[in-house]
Structure 1
C-alpha cells in the first residue's frame, strides 16, 4: 500500500511554522516579519515530481508574482515536496531556475532565494550548524521582488552583516537547540 503524501495544507502549515520559528523567531531575515504580518506571502505547493514540472510551476509563479499588486503579494514561497529531494539535484536545478528568470525578462525585477532540508553552503560539511540558516522542511524556491529587497536593505543599515549574524545565531543555538525549536509544540 503506498504511503499517502502530506496534504498541501499540512505542507503549508509546516512551512509557516518554520518561517515563524526559525526565519522570524531567530530573526534570520529581518524583512520577513512585515510581509508575514501583512499576509503578503503567497504559499504555493507544487505537485511536480520532476524538474520539468517544477520549472513549469516556477514559470507560473514568477509570472503571477510579477503581475500581482505588491500590496497583495510581495513574495512567494514555491514549496516542492515531491521533487528535488537531493540537495545536489536541487542546487543544479537553481541554474535552470535562473535561466528561466532571465528568459522571462524578470532578472532585475525578481530574484530567487533557495532553501532545502539538506542545504549546505559551498565549502561546508553537511552537518555544519551554519547550513541551517537555509534549511527548510521542504525544498523551497523563494521568489522576491528586487524593489522590496532594496527598500528593506535601505531600512536596515547593517543588511550586509545578516549572513555573519545568522551564522553566529546558529552556532549559539546548536543542533540540539535547532531540534528543540523545530519540534516545540508539534507533538514530535
Structure 2
C-alpha cells in the first residue's frame, strides 16, 4: 500500500500551521516568530526517496543558505516526507548532516536542528508528551545560521531555561491539549 499523495504546497501549509500553532503559538522557540512574520524562512520539500538523495538536497540547501542574504533567507526548513520516516534512521542521518557541514567548511556557520513526527528524546518513552516539542508534521532538517542563533541567545534572558520551560508547557498542555491544538472545529 502506498501513502496518499500530498502536494508540496500542502506539505508547506501543514508545516506553517505547525510553526504558527505549536512552535510560535506555544512559544516553544522564542526566536521563531520574527523570521516567520518577515517571511524569511525558506521551505524546501525534498523529493528524495533515499538518504543519498536527501544528502544531495541537504548539501544544496546548506550552500544556498550560506550564500543567501539573511534579510531574504534567515533559515531553511528542508522537509523530506518520503525518506527517513523511521526516527532511528533519521537520528542516524543527523551524523551525516554534521559531516556535510564539516565537508563544506560550514561547521560553526550553520547548524542543523532536528524535527520528526516520531521524535523521541533520549531517556523518554515514545508517547511522553515532552517529545512533542520536536514533533513536526513531516521529517525535516532545520538549517540555522550560527550567528543568528548566537544573537538570539544573547538577546534572550536565561536562554538555557527554554528547554525546561518547554517541557513544563508540554506537561501542562498534555496529549489532549496537543490534539485540540491541531483539530479543525466547525468543519463540515
Q: What TM-score, normalized to structure 2? A: 0.97
Q: What is the match of residue 15 of structure 1?
A: 15
Paired positions, count: 188
Cα distance between partner residues in 2 of 1:55 and 1:146: 20
Cα distance between partner residues in 2 of 1:87 and 1:58: 18
Q: What is the match of residue 58 of structure 1?
A: 58
Secondary structure at the aligned position of 1:105 is classed as coil
| Shift of residue 184, structure 1, vs aligned partner | 3.4
Post-superposition Cα deviations, 1:133-162, rounded to whole Å, max 9, x if no partner, equal: 000000010000001001101110111100
**Is 1:140–2:140 an aligned residue pair?**
yes
Cα distance between partner residues in 1 of 2:38 and 2:126: 35
Secondary structure at the aligned position of 1:77 is classed as strand
Cα distance between partner residues in 1 of 2:133 and 2:62: 24
Q: What is the match of residue 167 of structure 1?
A: 167
Post-superposition Cα deviations, 1:43-94, rounded to whole Å, max 9, x if no partner, equal: 0000000100110000000000000000000000000000010000000110
| Shift of residue 5, structure 1, vs aligned partner | 1.6
Q: Deviation above 6 Å: which 4+ runs of structure 1?
A: none
Q: 1:187 to 1:6 in 2, by over 3 A?
A: farther
Cα distance between partner residues in 2 of 1:155 and 1:186: 40
Unpaired stretches in structure 2, ≥5 consecutive residues: none
Secondary structure at the aligned position of 1:112 is classed as strand
Q: Equivalent residues in 2 for 1:21-60 (5 A)? A: 21-60=21-60
Q: Equivalent residues in 2 for 1:1-188 (5 A)? A: 4-185=4-185, 187=187
| Shift of residue 2, structure 1, vs aligned partner | 5.5
Cα distance between partner residues in 2 of 1:177 and 1:101: 37
Cα distance between partner residues in 2 of 1:122 and 1:137: 20
Unpaired stretches in structure 1, ≥5 consecutive residues: none
Q: What TM-score, normalized to structure 1? A: 0.97
Q: 1:16 to 1:186 in 2, by over 3 A?
A: farther
Give the alignment's Cα RMSD to 1 decimal. Answer: 1.5
